[in-house]
Amino acid sequence: MKSFPILFLGCLSVSLANPIVVTYPKDTPPSVLENAMKSVIDAGGRITHKFQLINGFSADAPESAVQQISVQSAKYNPTIENDLPVSIQ
């Protein structure tokens, strides 16, 4: 029963996170991606997938992390989108 508050807070932080997809230009160094992923984790989010063919990742991230990674690199601007289902109909 003592672990309930911790479990509740853990679930709450994930529920406040938005599913996002973050992509960077082709010439972006790996360190920029690593810093962005670290920012998501440090803000209480989690990385759900790291892409292999393009520079980017998907994550469940709070708004504070989204704001932070959007301004981290002036030279390599990320594209940040909501991760939504895609259909052809």
User: 53-64 pLDDT, tens per residue?
Assistant: 999 999 999 999
Domain count, the chain: 1
Instruction: Name residue 42's amino acid.
Output: D
Domain that holds residue 34: 18-82
pLDDT digits (tens, 9 = 90+) for 36-54: 999 999 999 999 999 999 9
| pTM, full prediction | 0.78
User: Coil, strand, or helix at residue 24?
Assistant: coil
> Residue 10 domain-assigned?
no
pLDDT digits (tens, 9 = 90+) for 21-37: 999 999 999 999 999 99
> Residue 42 domain-assigned?
yes
How high is the mean pLDDT of the chain?
Answer: 88
- The span from the CA of 2 to the CA of 74, in Å, is 45
Q: How far is CA 27 from CA 8, 33, 40, in A?
A: 41, 11, 22
| CATH code of the domain containing 78 | 3.30.70.80
- The span from the CA of 80 to the CA of 26, in Å, is 15
Sign of CA dihedral 29, 33, 34, 36: positive
- The pLDDT value recorded for residue 5 is 52
